Amino acid sequence: MNWDMKSLRSRFETVFGASPTGAVRAPGRVNLIGEHTDYNGGFVLPIAIEREVRALFRARDDRTVNMVSGQSPNERAKVDLDLTISPGLPKWANYCKGVIAGLIEEGVALGGADVYFEGNVPLGGGLSSSAALEVATGMAMLSASGMSGSVPGPTLARICQKAENEYAGAPCGIMDQAISAMGKAGHAMLMDCRDGSLKQIPFNKPDLVVLVADTQVKHGIADGGYAARREQCFSAARKMNVSSLRDADEASIELSHGNGLIDDVEFMRARHVVGEVHRTLEACAALQSGDYRQFGRLMYASHYSLRDDYQVSCEELDELVRIASVTKGVYGARMTGGGFGGCAIALVDAELADSIAQALAEGFFGKFGRRCPVFATHATAGAGVLE
Adjacent-strand bridge partners of 199:
190
**Alpha helices in the chain, H assignment, sequence order:** 5-16, 92-105, 129-144, 153-166, 175-182, 225-240, 250-258, 264-289, 292-308, 315-325, 353-368
Residue 50 φ then ψ, to 5°: -85, 25
- Within 10 angstroms of residue 145's Cβ, the number of other Cβ atoms is 18
293: DSSP letter: H
Give dist(CA 140, CA 58) in Å, integer: 9
- Within 10 angstroms of residue 3's Cβ, the number of other Cβ atoms is 11
CA 116 to chain centre: 21
**Alpha helices in 45-106, H assignment, sequence order:** 92-105
Give dist(CA 97, CA 102) in Å, integer: 8
Contact 115, 97 (CB under 8 A): no
Give dist(CA 206, CA 216) in Å, integer: 29
Sequential DSSP letters for 308-343? HTS----HHHHHHHHHHHTSTTEEEEEEESS-SSSE
21: DSSP letter: S
Residues in Cβ contact with 380 at an 8 Å cutoff, skipping those fewer than 6 apart: 27, 47, 48, 49, 50, 183, 185
Q: How large is the angle between the packed helices 153-166 and 129-144, nearest 10 degrees?
A: 120
Give the Cα-Cα-Cα angle 180, 185, 190 (nearest 5 degrees).
65
- Within 10 angstroms of residue 384's Cβ, the number of other Cβ atoms is 15
List the catalytic residues: 176
